[in-house]
Structure 1
Amino acid sequence: MSKSKKVKSRFTLSPDKVAALLDSQPDKTYSFKELARELDLNSKQEKIRLSEILQEMTAMKRLMVTKEEAFRSKATPQNAQEIEGILDHVNPRFGFIVSDDAPVDIKVNTDQLKGAVDGDRVRVLVYARKASNRASRRHANPEGEVLQVLERNRTEYVGRIEVSERHAFVIPDNRRMYEDIFVRKEDLNGAKNGEKVIVQVVEWPEGDFQPVGKVKDVLGPAGAHNTEMHAIMAEYGLPYSFPETIEKEAEAIPEAISKKEIAKRRDFRDVLTFTIDPVDAKDFDDALSIQKLENGHWEVGVHIADVTHYVQLNTQLEREAERRATSVYLVDRVVPMLPERLSNGLCSLRPHEDKLTFSAVFELDDQAHIVNEWFGRTIIHSDHRFAYEDAQEVLEGRDDTYQEELLVLNRLAHKLREDRFRRGAIGFETTEVRFKLAEDGTPLEVVPKVRKDAHKLIEEFMLLANKQVATFVYHLRKGRKKNPMVYRVHESPDPDKLLTFANFAQRFGYKVEAEGKNMSQSLHRMVTAMEGKPEQDLLQTLAIRTMAKARYTLEPLGHFGLAFEHYTHFTSPIRRYPDMMAHRLLQHYLDGGQPVDPEPWEKLAKHSSDREKQAADAERASVKYKQVEFMKLQDPNRTYEGIVSGLSEYGIYVEIIETKCEGMVRMSDIEDDYYELDPENYRAVGRRSKRIIAFGDTVQVRVLNTDLEKRIIDLEFAGTNGRKPSRKGGGKTMSRKSRTR
């Protein structure tokens, strides 16, 4: 009986029956075994027949086959929705589509990306969740598949080329690009095996094939300092130089300041003025003037380079500054927003030279309360240039011609800072590092940047100018019409993230309010209370990660971290385009101009925010490269003390205390147990031993492997903490798909 039933089943199995099963759950993927089980197939003959049917249906494109040899219906899932968004390809297995049309990101497996890569704009089909799964998956992201790539984020990539007899592959430096790029022999452009190149993608095939590209430029041998810095610049779209036409336009600007121009401005040339900047600075954005008034108050002028006097609208200089939007500070060089003729010459507030400025001038009493303020165009003559170190020595007691004025400014800055913190500003102090480099770029030493009163003095008066300019424009209205302004905003933290952090901080005895108007005050109280305590770095790092990212917009949303209702960027127009925008808008309103059309200004604000993020990523990449290079040069058998600085499903991030270099201990390399991530509690827990590795733990580590191309440091636990794995002779790297076509 049983035998007869099986024979009957074998002969009634058909493509329609398989299609009916797949179509009944169009958002589900089945392996071969799962299909056989669902169809109640038990005999070898039945499974052979199923295999034949699947091959037929695949050839006829009646179903979808994933890279894992699983099968899914081609039917559109019921209640599915189509939206547009940007792909954030977080790892080789899947990515997320970020869209303004979806409340949460949509997860898409890599085999459903239709050839899309990180940053591409795509049209995606979002599957509807089933009611039965809703409760168990209420925190999970909805899933979907890419239907079409609408716009490529980029067509050029930087990477190392591997040349074989017939063809070549470029292995991209970009860690979010998981496909190697195929290059035909005739498209090598002279590139040799192992060199860094810029490759332009000319074909984007779907399926199991790599993109196809042509070598556009050869940067040099991989691993050479200049090659790698140029590679980072190319990877992030940073220009090497200014076009000749831009340089010529800058050189044509006259240096002389006419009497007619001086007559239009408030003259500060007889008022004591000086700059305080890094010792190696060449462009001086800002200067401070100070004089005592007859009523006993102090007049402090914050004088900013008048860049928009020289960079006029509808010029090539203006368009280039707008395109770049920011200067970029790599580990060994600056990629400037403006040509050197402007940034280091005409606009730089060098000592003993008359300079055109845009100023915010404040009358302050002894408690640093603002009695009067004035904004407008000025001319100054800087009497002295201080390096931060020189100014700090004066503040600490060294005799100097300008000692009295510096001490007054420092005292007023302390009052301003105290008032800011009293209003709820959050005083995070993070440790930054810089490298001492040899002439060939080899990192010799990692040096922490120490912020002292001289740095904070300048910072406080810049914050004051930025705040008061924004506040002035906000309240300077034409009837009911507000004056659009470019604001620097920092929104309140996400309540869920802050609640998670608050629960964690409570374990250390700190109360952080996760909602309401006292959030910032409670965070500041925590920062103050934990100063000098073991948990300071841990909680401060987590708190910063909880914060929203600052951005530019015309919406006056306030600055949460600084506790300012209104804030802009006014004080660095040599290196930031939004400051040039703020100067233009302020002058327009001072001249009695009507409110501007906000739409084009909002587009420029968003562009500036995007470019700022890109610049920060490039800066981090250059620092990370030098960190990896520095650790590569150290004794491989040395043990370091480190702090657990992050956790992911792949591994445990550790920052080496001595060098501030961060690496990762991969989960797969920890052999004493299998550790599972507990993200809400910032820890990993051993499944068998229940041993905990938590954020902020002090651990002993050794360098297992350094990968300069990927800017990765692989670490292993060492010492007597019970988590030491056996050495494997080399770090594991994330595998790529095989290079076949």
Structure 2
Amino acid sequence: MSARSELLKKLREDVHRPLSKEEIFNKFDIAKEQQQMFSDLLDDLIKLGQVFKNSQGLYGVPEKFNLIGGRIEKIASGNAFLIPDEPEKDDIYISSANMNGAMHNDKVFVRPVRSNRGKSQAGEVAEIVERVNKEIVGNLEKYKNYGFLIPDNKRICNDVFIPPEALNDAQNGQKVVAKITRWPEKNRNPEGEIVEILGDKDDAGVDIEAIIRQLDLPGEFPDKVLKEIENIPDQVNENIVEKDDEREDLRNLKLVTIDGADAKDLDDAVSLEKVSNDVYRLGVHIADVSHYVREESPLDNEAYKRATSIYLVDRVIPMLPKKLSNGICSLNPQVDRLTMSVFIEYRLRGKHGIEIIDHKITKSVINSNHRLTYDEVQNILDDEQSSEREKYDDFVEELEMMNELRDRLRRNRFEEGSMDFNFTEVKVELDEEGHPINLKKRSHREAEQLIEEFMIAANRIVAAEMSWREMPFIYRVHEEPDLDRMQQFNEFIHNFGYRLKGVKNGVHPRALQEILEDVRGTKEEKIIETVMLRSLKKAVYSEKNIGHFGLGITHYSHFTSPIRRYPDLTAHRIIKETITEGYLSEERQDELDNQIPQIADHCSLQERRAMDAERDSVDLKKIEFMEDKIGEEFEGIISGITGFGMFIELENTVEGLVHIKNLRDDYYHYDEEKYHLIGERTKKIYRIGDEVKIKVTKVNRDERELDFELIEKID
């Protein structure tokens, strides 16, 4: 058992009152030369929310203080939820009055309080352990000799007061960065100092730069990182197999990469061999990034800090420098590349059945035959006369077999309980100056599904292998939803004529998938999918394997994208050590037991921040795309209804609001039980999914708002 695990176990089971640090040393016989290590360990456990230190400097596990550790997730109303550090625990609702100065993403301890939300748990922030938003980006509103920064991130609900001496020549209407100099308290805004002026808020490029700065990430890599990568070769040593006899030579194996046309960081390749009439051998080959990124090196520390690559509408902020991400680690065609390979043998049964009969994980070296795009693969599968079939005639047979395997894997996964959301993604096309010129819907066809299924298959095998070996590992987990949220969701869909099975005793993901299948193609599809997704917990990284509810899988990890995700890089290191030696030493296991919880927490946070930035950049450009369309008319569907109006989604996926006060033919009232608006005199009803014609009346890029005027309902 690691020192961390042993200390927590003793604090839970053998300690019956809060202890000082010295008392902990004495009670657990900590030698003097180890006391600094244990002191550091206590500090780490406090940051992880697993130990609490009270105002008297006494330590104990949070539950004995009636506290729960986690991170704050603000919602638009100003209220929030605590996302507990322990994935098995339910989220806790926190009203704005009980935030006590905590901000979005802050690490806190929460004390349960009486709830008026039915069975939902409610809480109050008792202590803030870690502040995340040390710098805030937004627009400056100047008043005489002071100002307020209005945050771009709408989850940061507090405007930041800027005193006269902290304005530093910033002018009204500029986009600025402020460093927090005084944190918010109950009924008191935070204070800050302007540390950077990004430019006028309407200047080209300032909007996306503001999103980047809000992440607190440098645009360039530090000099010590650039110096380190000078020693990394541009090509793989031809004698790599002779020098590393544990690395399997797969350079004669037929394999390809399949990705988007604009992708440059190709971290996965796939192969498929027909062993017999009913046995296929799938190979998933992932860039061996850990061969080049050494643990605790400057390069590794920077990768950990970033934790993920971020894909904004006009640029990528990579986790690793281009020399690795687009070069030696990218599985480009016709060049040798080091990889980690997962082989899975499947037996095909009947028309659609499939079962795993064997698997292997190995270090390898490959040489990809082709770099294919999703469009090219789709054309090969759809059209026997396509030019792509002729161009890649040496791989057509393998692609057709892959498509058959994809179909079987996908059917099997959904039968087991995986959930299949059908949200439309959009790609924003920009001109040379960064202005949006087109909004293009992204499809999720067989070509995209093929890679998705193969990556899920590899991630499952890796997680199951490490769980079976009982080695410390980093898992991708998704906890079961709160029962009360499922009951609320069931009440919501009842208004549309649907019913969720088993809601009283805990919902199986298959029951939710059946709802998704039932609503597919209906008017209410989007709103039911949206409400369902909001009723579920978020997937996170964890050292505990509690399964993945949304995928209906008991073992799952992230292994397939080490170029762009730090958890995958961590997984590779552990797997390589394990398969090389067959086991990990007790010392190494103790080290990983201490490291992985912190890596998991940090990467989960950075993932949420990256997803917010990616979504914000798309939403921003959608709004900008509509700025020159004021007065124009469009057709759309009602995507949501509230007491203050109707949300209308246009064909191009842009969503705007028709305010209830601007409905001119009658006074309309919101029927909360039936989720529709009904006219007081005319009895006209507006429901989710109804088709309407609207006119664009207002576009506000700062507030990310679009206002529409209703022209008519289309019958």
TM-score normalised by length of structure 1? 0.76
Q: Distance in 2 between matches of 1:461 and 1:184?
A: 56
**Alignment partner for residue 435 of structure 2, among 435, 438, 442?**
442
Alignment check: 8 A CA contact 2:257 2:371 kept: yes
Match of 1:405 in 2: 398
What's the Cα RMSD here?
Answer: 3.4
Q: Deviations over 1:332-391 (max 9, x none)?
A: 111111111110011000001000000101233345533321101000001111011111
Match of 2:572 in 1: 583
Q: Name whichever of 427-436 and 81-90 sits farther off.
A: 81-90
Match of 1:543 in 2: 532
Q: Distance in 2 between matches of 1:98 and 1:278?
A: 34
Q: Distance in 2 between matches of 1:154 and 1:520?
A: 35
Match of 2:625 in 1: 630
Matched residues, number: 626
Q: Distance in 2 between matches of 1:167 and 1:203?
A: 16
SS of the aligned residue for 1:365 comes to strand
Matched, 1:373 2:359: yes
SS of the aligned residue for 1:633 comes to helix
Q: Name whichever of 306-315 and 88-97 sits farther off.
A: 88-97
Alignment check: 8 A CA contact 2:486 2:507 kept: no
Match of 1:215 in 2: 194
Assess, with a 3 A threshold, how the Cα gap between structure 1 residues 82 and 465 changes in structure 2: closer, same or farther.
closer
Assess, with a 3 A threshold, how the Cα gap between structure 1 residues 642 and 359 changes in structure 2: closer, same or farther.
same
**Alignment partner for residue 231 of structure 2, among 242, 245, 252?**
252
Q: Name whichever of 696-705 and 82-91 sits farther off.
A: 82-91
Matched, 1:327 2:321: no
Matched, 1:592 2:582: yes
Alignment check: 8 A CA contact 2:691 2:714 kept: no
Alignment check: 8 A CA contact 2:80 2:93 kept: no
Question: Aligned runs of 1:125-274 on 2, under 5 Å?
Answer: 152-163=131-142, 166-184=145-163, 186-204=165-183, 211-258=190-237, 259=239, 260-274=242-256
**Alignment partner for residue 554 of structure 2, among 531, 554, 565?**
565
Alignment check: 8 A CA contact 2:139 2:151 kept: yes
1:449 positional shift? 0.2
Q: Deviations over 1:485-530 (max 9, x none)?
A: 2211222232222233334445555443144687323333333344
Assess, with a 3 A threshold, how the Cα gap between structure 1 residues 92 and 506 changes in structure 2: closer, same or farther.
closer
Alignment check: 8 A CA contact 2:93 2:120 kept: no
**Alignment partner for residue 496 of structure 1, among 471, 484, 494?**
484
1:156 positional shift? 1.4
Match of 2:451 in 1: 458
1:640 positional shift? 3.3
Amino acid at match of 1:278: G
1:417 positional shift? 1.2
Alignment check: 8 A CA contact 1:97 1:108 kept: no
Amino acid at match of 1:390: E
SS of the aligned residue for 2:414 comes to helix
**Alignment partner for residue 702 of structure 1, among 680, 695, 704?**
695
Q: Deviations over 1:691-737 (max 9, x none)?
A: 66544444443333221122222334332589xxxxxxxxxxxxxxx
1:102 positional shift? 9.9
Matched, 1:528 2:517: yes
SS of the aligned residue for 1:263 comes to coil
Assess, with a 3 A threshold, how the Cα gap between structure 1 residues 392 and 141 changes in structure 2: closer, same or farther.
closer
Q: Name whichever of 594-603 and 581-590 sits farther off.
A: 594-603
**Alignment partner for residue 360 of structure 1, among 336, 342, 346?**
342
Q: Deviations over 1:19-42 (max 9, x none)?
A: xxxxxxxxxxxxxxxxxxxxxxxx
Amino acid at match of 1:263: D
Amino acid at match of 2:475: Y
Match of 1:287 in 2: 269
Q: Distance in 1 between matches of 2:533 and 2:260?
A: 26
Assess, with a 3 A threshold, how the Cα gap between structure 1 residues 666 and 592 changes in structure 2: closer, same or farther.
same
Q: Deviations over 1:643-697 (max 9, x none)?
A: 22364x6x3452423121122344555574364572x654566789876654444
Match of 1:621 in 2: 616
Q: Deviations over 1:307-347 (max 9, x none)?
A: 11111111011111111111111111111111111100110
SS of the aligned residue for 1:105 comes to strand
Q: Deviations over 1:98-155 (max 9, x none)?
A: 778998434343xx866555455678888768xxxx8xx75688687x7886654423
Q: Distance in 2 between matches of 1:343 and 1:85?
A: 33
Amino acid at match of 2:359: E
Assess, with a 3 A threshold, how the Cα gap between structure 1 residues 354 and 468 changes in structure 2: closer, same or farther.
same
Alignment check: 8 A CA contact 2:175 2:200 kept: yes
| Bigger Rg, which one | 1
Match of 1:77 in 2: none
Matched, 1:416 2:398: no
Q: Distance in 2 between matches of 1:564 and 1:147?
A: 36
Assess, with a 3 A threshold, how the Cα gap between structure 1 residues 322 and 654 changes in structure 2: closer, same or farther.
same
1:81 positional shift? 9.3
Match of 1:430 in 2: 423
Matched, 1:388 2:374: yes
Amino acid at match of 1:466: N
Assess, with a 3 A threshold, how the Cα gap between structure 1 residues 164 and 310 changes in structure 2: closer, same or farther.
same
Assess, with a 3 A threshold, how the Cα gap between structure 1 residues 713 and 237 changes in structure 2: closer, same or farther.
farther
Which of structures 1 and 2 has the larger relative contact order (alpha carbons within 8 angstroms, sep 6+)?
A: 2
Assess, with a 3 A threshold, how the Cα gap between structure 1 residues 549 and 691 changes in structure 2: closer, same or farther.
farther
Amino acid at match of 1:213: G
Q: Deviations over 1:155-189 (max 9, x none)?
A: 31112224566344433223234444344555444
Q: Distance in 2 between matches of 1:84 and 1:468?
A: 32
Matched, 1:105 2:93: yes
Q: Name whichever of 634-643 and 349-358 sits farther off.
A: 634-643
Residue ranges of structure 2 left out of the alignment (5+ in a row):
1-64
Counting aligned pairs with the same residue, the percent is 36
Amino acid at match of 1:276: I
Q: Name whichever of 615-624 and 529-538 sits farther off.
A: 529-538
Q: Distance in 1 between matches of 2:120 and 2:706?
A: 31
Assess, with a 3 A threshold, how the Cα gap between structure 1 residues 369 and 96 changes in structure 2: closer, same or farther.
closer
Assess, with a 3 A threshold, how the Cα gap between structure 1 residues 309 and 219 changes in structure 2: closer, same or farther.
same
SS of the aligned residue for 2:283 comes to strand
SS of the aligned residue for 2:427 comes to strand
Matched, 1:556 2:545: yes
Assess, with a 3 A threshold, how the Cα gap between structure 1 residues 655 and 518 changes in structure 2: closer, same or farther.
same
Assess, with a 3 A threshold, how the Cα gap between structure 1 residues 121 and 605 changes in structure 2: closer, same or farther.
closer
Alignment check: 8 A CA contact 1:653 1:662 kept: no
Alignment check: 8 A CA contact 1:495 1:514 kept: no
